[in-house]
Amino acid sequence: MKTTHPFSPAHFEFDRALIERLDGTGPRYTSYPTADRFTPGFAERDYIHWLRQRSIGANRKPLSLYAHIPFCNTICYYCGCNKIITKDSGKADLYLDYLEKEVQMVASCLARREQVIQLHFGGGTPTFLSDAQLERLMTLLKTHFEFLKEGEYSIEIDPRKVSAATIFKLAELGFNRISVGIQDFEPAVQQAVNRVQSEAETLEVIQAARDAGFKSVSVDLIYGLPLQTRESVRRTLDKVIAIGPDRLALYNYAHLPTVFMPQRRINEADLPSPETKLDILQDSVQRLADAGYVFIGMDHFAKPDDELASALRQGRLQRNFQGYSTHADCDMIGLGVSSIGKVGPCYSQSAKDLDSYYAALDSGHLPVLRGLTLDNDDILRRSIIQGLMCRFSLSVEALEEIHGINFAEYFAEELPQIREYQQLGLLSFDGDFIMVEPKGRLLIRNIAMIFDKHLRERRTRARYSKTI
């Protein structure tokens, strides 16, 4: 299977034999080092230090903000997110009280009203919040930060819980992008994962977003769910293509019931076989390519005129904890329980449960649970993995000049695997330039893993998803 011009960064080939040969698990590289490498040795004082570095001019770029809203009305059995199942909206009022404390503390460390170029509300279900609660949170953020007119402000939507009026309210509050969870339109599959969602309510939300002037609508699909077949997923995909979202993510369901308890309610006998999953993926990527969608990387697609597709063509695509982005080179401040942020050369993660999160703030401390300050080797490898994941290429000469290394000497341990993947046709390497070949682009996580020193040298308890 070949798509687009062979020299286009969006061009890929589905080499089934290679995909089966390199079958395995690995990180998604929304960060490097990955979150399972964060340690409790990184504490509040370290996070405050790097926040204050911004205030003395070390980094004047606008910020990205992420707010985690952990509440959901009902549980989706496939979900691996940090969430709290409740129908009590009063819990959200209390949560917002504590978010206010955290925002005020973070803002005091920054010492000036910082500009914001990107915002994302994730969860859980951000639209668990009422219109009034959403307005309260946005007012809080706008009080402490200056939101730029050209910014990208997105929110995850559950169509089952949102009216058209709320979509217009979100536009009024400043949101200009929405991400809509669909997963699958087949009734039997929806019943099996406890997420029953009609096409009508999904279409209503998406049409409301378009009527309200949202710049972009993205949708999430999952393959590998119970009772899915090639034919059933084809039906869902045809309906989604008819809807015409600007962006589309096709995620591989990772069945890890020992890690995520809700998945224990899924009947493993109903899961499609590995061969069927690969059939579904092969069918789906071809169908999306035929429909004109551009392959962005990994499991993401976009219309040719979408900003992600433009960023890919222009070599300025980025990647952060929310996935592919045009603004991921910004420092990102995470707010709320379990949220992750990136400030300067550090990553930090907040307490993962509400009791610990509330207790930290009650005692006057930021709720930092763990994190990591990157050393020079981490920063070098992060730049390599970012380049491979986002541009499918790497200039050895530029890397040597920026980081003051000799590539062949520094990565002598990695060179045999680079050569092996070159022989397999996944990449080309002439000593000066690494180019991911079309048949290696769907296997980009495998290629990035070559440069993951932590993965090679240190064991982890993390359970990674399949690389494809």
Binding site feature residues for [4Fe-4S] cluster: 72, 76, 79
CA distances for 119 relative to 249, 328, 468, angstroms:
19, 11, 29
CA distance 143 to 65: 14
Distance CA 118, CA 330 (A): 9
Rounded Cα gap, residues 358 and 356, in angstroms? 5
To the nearest 10 degrees (0 to 180), the angle between helices 90-110 and 131-144 is 10
Q: Prior bond to 33 cis, omega within 30?
A: yes
Q: Please report, in range form, the residues annotated as the binding site.
A: 66, 72, 76, 78-80, 123-125, 156, 183, 195, 220, 254, 340
Give binding residues for S-adenosyl-L-methionine as ranges: 66, 78-80, 123-125, 156, 183, 195, 220, 254, 340
Are the C-beta atoms of 318 and 390 separated by less than 8 Å?
yes
Longest pairwise C-alpha distance within the chain: 61
CA distance 270 to 266: 8
User: For 323, phi and psi rounded to 5 degrees?
Assistant: 105, -150
Contact 190, 196 (CB under 8 A): yes
Angle between helices 199-211 and 230-243 (to 10 degrees): 30
d(C-alpha 83, C-alpha 367), whole Å: 17
Strand 323-325 versus strand 318-320 pairing type? antiparallel
Residues 6+ apart with CB under 8 A from 158: 72, 125, 127, 181
How crowded is residue 420: how many other Cβ atoms within 10 Å of its Cβ?
11
Q: CA torsion sign, 36 to 41 to 46 to 50?
A: negative
Structure tokens at 44: 């509040």
Contact between 350 and 357 under an 8 Å Cβ cutoff? The reply is yes
- CA angle centred on 451, ends 23 and 468, rounded to 5°: 25
- List the beta strands (DSSP E) in 108-259: 115-123, 146-157, 177-183, 216-223, 247-252
Cα four-point dihedral sign 118, 122, 128, 129:
negative
Helices (H) and strands (E) in the chain, counts: 17, 19
